[in-house]
Amino acid sequence: MGLRVLAAMSGGVDSAVAAARIAEAGHDVTGVHLALSANPQSHRTGARGCCTVEDSRDARRAADVIGIPFYIWDMAERFQRDVVEDFVAEYAAGRTPNPCLRCNEKIKFAAVLDRALALGFDAVATGHHAKLVDGVLSRSVDQGKDQSYVLGVLTRQQLGHALFPLGDSTKAEVREEAARRGLTVADKPDSHDICFIADGDTRGFLAERLGSAQGPIVDQSGEVVGSHSGAHGFTVGQRKGLRIDRPAPDGRPRYVLSIEPVSNTVTVGPRSALQVSTIVCGTPVWNGPSGRDDLTVQLRAHGEVYPCRFEERVGGLSIELDRPATGVAAGQAAVLYSGATVIGSATIVSAS
């Protein structure tokens, strides 16, 4: 007997093909589009975003072609609180959050999954590029599109009620299949960046909500080398957009090394000063096997992976890298892998 599956349909090609595959496999599928914006735009801005009226219409048309019931769920208030306000608060605290990861954790696999189970559904299916075999999460065959990192925060219980039908396909194969199925989203551009910042101006978005406050940019010795209008407009590892009045003596570019929100100070220095080998994280979420063979950690979405070792401590996790990483920012997730399999994740607190 097939499962009752709620297919989350963003209006893009991936979620449409995922829903079609689940339906074709004989499951009882219902499509749902999440309305995440209280005042959605009529059209997307370039390839940014996934929460417009146009996207909801694309999702509905795809559901019609597949032949499944379709609904729109208003999640705007929950999204505003758990994702947008969290994003702003994290930057205000000098950390660098990942809103896509938070959306998966708090919206798609908390609010939506909870409601789906309460309504009698067995699972939620999404168009994420990741594999899920017997409840164990691993990387997609398409390394360039792999999204296991942003799913690494999910618990075993949540993964036990999830379906990711695209894990064995490349993005090119998904688009070809969408065209064969007559889905009009086959050639639709991917959404990217932060969906609730349609113009891509993160600094402007934060300034509008946190205001402007003049502060110093200092070098590692504490000497003032420039000024800024808000420390929340920077992230560790950033090179561009720094208002530096005094060039480095060696003429080399400077990077953001740290952000201190209390004193509103941004510290800059050479790229070599960004290198870290020890990462301290908060309480981990273990969602895979406990094996430690071929252990690696990924520190950013689509970022490089690093061979590592880890040690659990009271209330947290310490990760030792076999080679230094750069641009490691507090607030990001450290996702641990054994080979291609996700074993757990934790939020980065500090790095040295």
- Residues carrying an active site annotation: 103, 195
d(CA 226, CA 247): 10
> Where on the phi/psi map is residue 331: left (φ > 0), alpha (ψ -120 to 50), or beta?
left
- Residue 151 carries which side chain, given as an amino acid letter? L
- Cβ atoms of residues 278 and 318 within 8 Å: yes
Query: Both tokens of residue 120?
Result: 């009698």
Q: For residue 307, give the 3-state DSSP assignment.
A: strand
Nearest to 122 by CA among 73, 163, 71, 161: 161
**Residues in the chain, how many?**
352
Rg value, the chain, Cα: 21
d(CA 14, CA 170): 10
d(CA 117, CA 121): 5
d(CA 265, CA 243): 13
What 8-state DSSP symbol labels residue 52? Answer: S
| Site of tokens 């970022």 | 303
- Cβ atoms of residues 261 and 232 within 8 Å: yes
